[in-house]
Amino acid sequence: GAVVSQHPSRVICKSGTSVKIECRSLDFQATTMFWYRQFPKQSLMLMATSNEGSKATYEQGVEKDKFLINHASLTLSTLTVTSAHPEDSSFYICSAREGLGASSSYNSPLHFGNGTRLTVT
């Protein structure tokens, strides 16, 4: 089946530094990727929709200057947490939808990475 690789799986960084998380679709191309954040015992909260070749679309309340998203190719999206603070500590997970452009519709499966546990000290 389709695989999405997310790296790193865990990262610990100091407050004020930046952290980059990569999301790669390994055996399919994805026009659209999504970034989620999960707090303990809470929903996967959609942060932003990453579209290849264009700017990401951020959900209300998500700081686009803090969470930089780049989707430079059809198989790679990156999330950079800039000037990280302890309150940014969380579980971040990406997902990619199979299909390109018009072939990617609402019933195209979503494939998830295994997530990144970010701890900011």
Q: Which is nearer to another protein, 29 or 82 (CB)?
A: 29
Which of 14, 43, 53, 86 contacts another protein by CB under 8 A?
Answer: 43
Q: Choose the binding region for another protein from 11-19, 44-52, 71-79, 81-89 (rule: CB under 8 A).
A: 44-52
The CB-of-62 to another protein minimum distance in angstroms stands at: 13
Q: Which is nearer to another protein, 77 or 115 (CB)?
A: 115
Nearest partner of 24 among 116, 103, 101, 86, judged by Cα = 116
CA diameter of the chain: 43
How many beta carbons lie within 10 A of that of residue 60, not counting itself? 4
